Structure 1
Amino acid sequence: MSNHQPSRTHRVDESVRLFKNPILEKLSHVHPIVPLLVWGPVAIWLLVRAVTVHQIGLAGMAVIGVAGLLTWTLAEYLLHRYLFHFEPKTDLGRRFIYLFHGVHHDTPQDKTRLLMPPAGALPIIAVLYLMFWLVLPYPWAEPFTGFFIIGYLIYDYIHYATHHFPMRHPLLKFLKHYHMRHHFSDDDGRYGVSTPFWDWVFNTYPSKPEKPNRG
């Protein structure tokens, strides 16, 4: 069992103070609409450039779109499993992991900490963009990054919805119950949020049949 189970010292909907510095504390919170307003235009700009400047056709955009979205789902899984649920040996390491993800397990219904604040996402996106430029041939890095960001936004809002909306559609209801079990039953598995696909691939999908959930 990882050390990310709720500590039971806070209400699940409570907001825990992370920083004494008021500026850092404010930057650790984010209104749910902010990631869309920040990253949506970036993704659109990259995709528009791909079509108008680099003149990539529909077939090329479709292929790179599938690649970008699929790569995001893999990144989502790997980050959640190996970084966010990493169990460090030092106090500094535990503090780092708590800031990134442990606080979410402590207070999973805190609306202001369900999505990544732009201050934290910016350096990550910048590093990934550079990596895509180094790996992908010109000019494919731009549309790939655009679709990757779209995948990230889809994940962000599915994650938010699983915590705060009923999600009555069968597929969305499945995702909600799947993620809630990660929080409240056993967090050593079910690392996918927008899809359980990589849990199936890497055998972290629950092996026991799941009981119906009325939530």
Structure 2
Amino acid sequence: MKSRKQQRPRHKGSGTVFKNPALEKLTRTHIAVPLVLYPLVSAGFIYYGVAELGFTASQMALLFFIGMVVYTLVEYLMHRYLYHIAPYTKALEKFSYKVHGVHHEYPKDKKRLAMPPILALVLVAFFFLLFGILMGDYVFGFLPGFVMGYTFYLGIHYSVHAFKVPDNFLRVLWHHHAIHHYRQPDRAFGISSPLWDYIFGTMPKLRKDNAGKGEYIDPA
């Protein structure tokens, strides 16, 4: 079996997840679809929270911010422990490839840089029920932040793989994710933020040169 640190070779083009043509088509998503859909979903929740439940703008803003922060933690945990689950069995190896391995093998495949909207909306419904049970009506402020955290992640993730490194503060996120893909796949799991990599000790390893400057090294 492949170890957690080993990677499949990277290729151009697009891989195949399902042999069934209909299922295979559902795995491909144009990035514009979720980037338009999820803000509309979030706006609907916010409108209901303000217009029907009477939440103030400051309450919604606080809940929204908390939702975004919680999303970054969920993103990190899913990427580290679910998408990169160690393939101890053939079944796990197959699962890992379908949900994430194909992306590592074909990182420039632009139509596999976002979860299919149908599946994502099912997850939104699941989180709505879960968070609704845990926090009641506050879910109408929290969930939009959570969903927009995911939307921001999609924009960053797509941009990293589709565009050149920008000459601004976002270049940090470009480099961080590139290190995960091409040099240290067992580190740099945060995509929309490196916050949890700092907290959980999975920032990329550095090697000091004679001038005392650090550069990223390949994992041992």
When normalised by structure 2's length, the TM-score is 0.89
Question: 1:165 aligns to what?
Answer: 163
The corresponding residue for 1:54 is 53
Q: Which runs of 5+ in 2 are unaligned?
A: 208-213
CA distance in 2 between partners of 1:167 and 1:96 (Å)? 31
Change over 3 Å in CA distance of 1:117–1:4 after alignment to 2 = farther
Alignment of 1:21-60 (within 5 A): 21-60=20-59
- Whether the 8 Å contact between 2:165 and 2:174 is mirrored in structure 1 is yes
Q: Secondary structure at the match of 1:139?
A: helix
Q: Does the aligned pair in 2 maintain the 1:30–1:116 contact within 8 Å?
A: yes
Residue identity matched to 1:96: F
Q: How does 1:46-125 map to 2 (within 5 A)?
A: 46-125=45-124
Answer yes or no: is the 8 Å Cα contact 2:206–2:215 preserved in 1. Answer: no
In the TM superposition, residue 51 of structure 1 has moved relative to its aligned partner by: 1.1
Q: CA deviation at 1:103?
A: 0.5
Q: 1:23 and 1:199 mapped to 2: Cα distance?
A: 37
Matched residues in 2 for 1:59 and 1:142: separation?
13
Q: Runs ≥4 in structure 1, deviation > 4 angstroms? A: none
Match of 1:206 in 2: 204
RMSD of Structure 2 on Structure 1 (CA): 1.7
Q: Percent identity?
A: 37
Q: Is the 8 A contact 1:175 1:195 kept in 2?
A: yes
Distance 1:17 1:82 in 2: 23
How far 1:38 sits from its partner (Å)? 2.6
Which of the residues 5, 8, 15 maps onto 1:6? 8
Q: Which moved more, 1:202-211 or 1:107-116?
A: 202-211
Paired residues in the alignment total: 208
Structure 1 length as normaliser, TM-score? Answer: 0.91
Gap regions ≥5 residues in structure 1: none
Which deviates further from its counterpart, 160-169 or 139-148? 160-169
Give yes or no for contact 2:153–2:192 (8 Å, CA) kept in 1. yes
Q: Which structure has more RCO (C-alpha within 8 Å, separation ≥ 6)? A: 1
Q: Aligned partner of 1:63: which letter?
A: L
